[in-house]
A = this chain, B = another copy of it.
Amino acid sequence: MRPLPGFRDFYPEDCARRGYLLDGWRAVACRHGFVEVDGPVLESMDLYAKKNESGAEILGQLYQFTDRGEREVALRPEMTPTLARMVIAKERDYRKPLKWFSIANFFRYERQQKGRLREFIQFNADLLGDASTAADAELISLAIGVLREFGFTRDDFVIRLSDRRAWMDFLAARGCDEGAARAVLAIIDKLDREPEASLDAKLAPHGLTVAELRAFIAAASPEHFAPLLDQFEARGLREFVEVDLSIVRGLAYYTGLVFEAFDRGQSMRALAGGGRYDNLLADLSDGSVNLPAIGFGLGDVVLGNLIEETPRAREKMERALGAAPAAEIYVVIAGEARRREALGLVQSLRDAGWRTDFPLDAAKVGRQFQTADQLGARFAVVVGNEWPAVKIKTLATRAEDSVAHGALAEWLKTAHV
């Protein structure tokens, strides 16, 4: 009677919290001029295996199988391959740049640990067809906007900017060919997550040490990033970003700018991450579609945990959830003789747009008022002997009024403002 390990049931309170995240993502993306897209949950294995652009780690975690039509298929582990496929197929139909976002669930057979699930939801946003620093800033501003939407400030998170090209130049100067450079990037990605001795052992064949990498990170001059940082300055968002070359990102398809959003608390979890993948579309389309692109993803699990742990964000969420009760109006049936009239009233209130509930079976009036309170209703409308008049009780104040049932809609409209 339990879901599979790593999968979640969403009971009403869980679903409300999930809806709060999704609604926030969607609202901020729309304010930034992004439009929503989505693809199928199941994709052909070809999409992931052919070019192996995602990297071996994700391939090793795929939920893959053979379908009833003998196709090799997989549950999507990330959005970018699907997005690239969709853009390649139809990009001619759309004005550039494309500013697309999606809210979708993904599947990875992960070892179970905090913040990792096997089915999780991600917000993804991508800007395609513009290779400029202005595009970089536009996309990263959306990431900042999404986090601010949930009540987080510069005290809670920071976006760390880096650039793979800086590393590629450095590693080329140190004699690494492209294959070696990719291997070293994968090691840098683990810099704070593995013991130094083990990393040094992995770096030795490339003639490098952890100390040398750390020295390069420490010496990073923000001059390279000056035009980008100026964009954030102009937007009033400079305090949300900093340069940190230790960010390299795990996925293989990134080509230049990469970034991660970190929570500033002790745990320093990555909340979001992304970067430029200017070659992916050309690679996947054998050169027929060549669009520069930048994108990022942000998952629901870490974000949800951080909201719970941050009082300002948690209170904001609780206010929002409290403002959407299961019922706004509860129709109390004070005498079963008037049940038919009450049913008609319930229907008219619902048709007028009110979240309305009522007792399906005969119940004592006191019990009905209890239910009204439990549902978070603002008003109880009592149908009884006074019909065609009804009594209205404002539940917070216990104030009472009485109106003809035909005048109820008007009364509520005024009371609600």
B-binding residues in A (CB < 8 A): 1-5, 7-12, 15-16, 18-19, 30-33, 35-44, 61, 63, 65-69, 71, 73, 75, 82, 85-86, 88-90, 93-95, 97, 99-100, 105, 107, 109, 118-119, 130, 132, 134-135, 138, 141, 145, 230-231, 233-237, 285, 324, 326-327, 339-341, 343-344, 346-348, 350, 353-358, 360-361, 371, 374-375
Contact = CB atoms under 8 A, between A and B. Distances in A.
A88 to B, nearest CB: 5
A86 B9 contact: yes
Given A63-B67, A237-B347, A343-B234, A73 B37 contact: no
B1 A285 contact: yes
Nearest to A66: B65
5 nearest CB pairs, A to B: A65-B65, A33-B357, A7-B40, A234-B340, A10-B38
A38 B353 CA distance: 24
A33 B356 contact: yes
Contact of A4 (B43, B230, B324): B43
A35 B376 CA distance: 13
Contact of A350 (B31, B90, B109): B31
Contact of A361 (B1, B132, B326): B132
B15 A35 contact: yes
A69 B108 CA distance: 12
Candidate in A12, A71, A118, A348 with the most chain B CB atoms within 10 angstroms:
A12
A40 B234 contact: no
B15 A68 contact: no
B236 A344 contact: yes
Contact of A355 (B8, B30, B236, B346): B30
Given A42-B4, A86-B9, A356 B31 contact: yes
B39 A10 contact: yes
Given A31-B354, A374-B95, A39 B9 contact: yes
23 contacts: A3-B40, A3-B85, A4-B44, A4-B71, A7-B41, A10-B37, A11-B37, A11-B86, A30-B324, A31-B353, A32-B356, A33-B355, A41-B119, A42-B118, A61-B68, A63-B67, A65-B66, A97-B360, A130-B360, A130-B361, A234-B339, A235-B343, A235-B344
B43 A15 contact: no
A74 to B, nearest CB: 10
Contacts of A86: 9, 11
A33 B326 contact: yes
Given A119-B42, A360-B138, A343 B31 contact: no
B119 A40 contact: yes
A95 B88 CA distance: 51
Given A3-B85, A4-B44, 11 more contacts: A2-B85, A12-B36, A31-B354, A41-B119, A42-B119, A65-B66, A95-B371, A135-B360, A230-B340, A231-B343, A234-B343
A400 to B, nearest CB: 23
A226 to B, nearest CB: 14
B234 A73 contact: no
Contacts of A18: 38
Contacts of A343: 231, 234-235
A294 to B, nearest CB: 11
Given A37-B12, A67-B109, A361 B134 contact: yes
A100 B138 CA distance: 40
A9 B135 CA distance: 25
A41 B43 contact: no
Contacts of A339: 234
